[in-house]
Amino acid sequence: MKTLKKTRQGGATLVEAAVTILILFMFLMAIMEFGRAYNIYQTMTDAAREGARFAVSPCSLVDATGCPYGAGSLPTESDIIAKTQTYLAAANITGATVLVDQRSHAVGGVADTKFTRIQVSRPYQFLLFPYSINIHSNAEMRNETN
């Protein structure tokens, strides 16, 4: 009777498991990194929208907080930037650049419609990957005082 000699394959299984787990965790970390970058982008979009909404809405006479600009007037550029930065700071996003562009142009033959555009940008450094990207977002709204 012949006896079959069993070969040891425990080492090969261990190496395969180590490679598979490494690849799995790389995919999981990449998903988390890009999820965080998208979260920051979405928050920056919301901050730009909030800044634009604040920039184009004139103060009303029934404003409970009081209107430092006078009834029917628009906030200053520095107040718009501060409002946008406050929104970003609430989400723990620092180092963002906020630009305010107030322009007017004709829309549909109507003379000089005024718009306010808020641009927010911030560099994002990936934690586990040696790459950095710039995240940009903007919002544009028509001024209500037109």
pLDDT digits (tens, 9 = 90+) for 3-22: 665 666 667 888 888 999 99
Structure tokens that stand for 125 in this block: 């450094």
Q: Dump pLDDT digits (tens) for 134-144.
A: 999 999 988 87
Cα–Cα dist 39/3, whole Å:
62
Q: Dump pLDDT digits (tens) for 20-36.
A: 999 999 999 989 999 99
Cα–Cα dist 12/34, whole Å:
33
pLDDT value, residue 104: 75
3-state secondary structure the chain: CCCCCCCCCHHHHHHHHHHHHHHHHHHHHHHHHHHHHHHHHHHHHHHHHHHHHHHHCCCCCCCCCCCCCCCCCCCCHHHHHHHHHHHHHHCCCCCCEEEEEEEEEEECCEEEEEEEEEEEEEEEECCCCCCEEEEEEEEEEECCCC
- Whose tokens are 């184009």? That residue is 56
pLDDT tier at 62 (50, 70, 90 boundaries)? Answer: very low
Cα–Cα dist 29/25, whole Å:
6
